[in-house]
């Protein structure tokens, strides 16, 4: 691993399917880089004064995605930070364009079996309620991976120790040569 930490003038945004490690890796990455961390799902809940599952129940996925788009635009409009997004955020054309233009977008990618194992640990994911997680994640991967592939950087998030994945992210950032 490189010892030189990159100096960043823009936010780093983590995208990928649920269970890819966006929040977990995002917190560790932010600490490593000396940046603030924010989870867009947490910020959506604060702004809406409701849990994400309640927003889905009351307003549907379309209502949730509209709020998500507005919150993410606010989050990346300030000082550079590490932002973990919800799994579907990058599918929105406006959100994707904003993030690709103003941030460094990193796709955390893992195989469906790893993702299913990770999401089995929690029960707060509206898209998985009462369904086979692996089957849902397989369908989501088919639909969403082409969008995630537009990210500036692609990092495999397998069952490595978390610090090794963060090492890979830092190395990729150190070598990133995007344009402002």
Per cent of the chain over pLDDT 90 is 56
3-state secondary structure the chain: CCCCCCCCCCCEEEECCCCCCHHHHHHHHHHHHCCCEEEHHHHHHHHHCCCHHHHHHHHHHHHHHHHHHHHHHHHCCCCCCEEECCCCHHHCHHHHHHHHHHCEEEEEECCHHHHHHHHCCCCCCHHHCCCCHHHHHHHHHHHHHHHHCCCCEEEECCCCCHHHHHHHHHHHHHHCCCCC
Q: Does residue 144 have a known ligand-binding role?
A: yes
Q: For 34-60, how does the pLDDT look when each residue is reduced to its tens digit (9 = 90+)?
A: 999 999 999 999 998 998 888 888 988
Average pLDDT over residues 109-134: 73
Q: Does residue 22 have a known ligand-binding role?
A: yes
On average, the pLDDT of the chain sits at: 87
Q: Does residue 19 have a known ligand-binding role?
A: yes
Q: Does residue 67 have a known ligand-binding role?
A: no
What residue ranges define each of the domains in the chain, with the CATH number in brackets?
12-165 (3.40.50.300)
């Amino acid at each position: 691993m490189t010892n030189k930490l990159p100096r960043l003038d823009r936010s780093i945004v983590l995208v990928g399917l649920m269970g890819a490690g966006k929040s977990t890796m995002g917190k560790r990455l932010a600490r490593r880089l000396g940046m603030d961390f924010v989870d867009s799902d947490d910020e959506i809940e604060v702004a809406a004064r409701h849990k994400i599952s309640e927003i889905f129940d009351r307003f549907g996925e379309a209502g949730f995605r509209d709020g998500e788009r507005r919150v993410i635009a606010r989050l990346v409009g300030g000082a550079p930070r590490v932002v973990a997004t919800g799994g579907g955020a990058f599918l929105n054309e406006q959100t994707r364009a904003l993030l690709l233009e103003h941030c460094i977008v990193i796709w955390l990618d893992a195989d469906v079996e790893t993702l299913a194992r990770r999401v089995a640990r929690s029960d707060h994911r509206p898209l998985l309620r009462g369904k086979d997680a692996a089957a849902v994640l397989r369908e989501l991967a088919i639909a969403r991976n082409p969008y995630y592939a537009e990210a500036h950087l692609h990092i495999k998030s397998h069952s490595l120790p978390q610090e090794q994945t963060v090492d890979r992210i830092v190395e990729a950032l150190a070598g990133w040569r995007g344009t402002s």
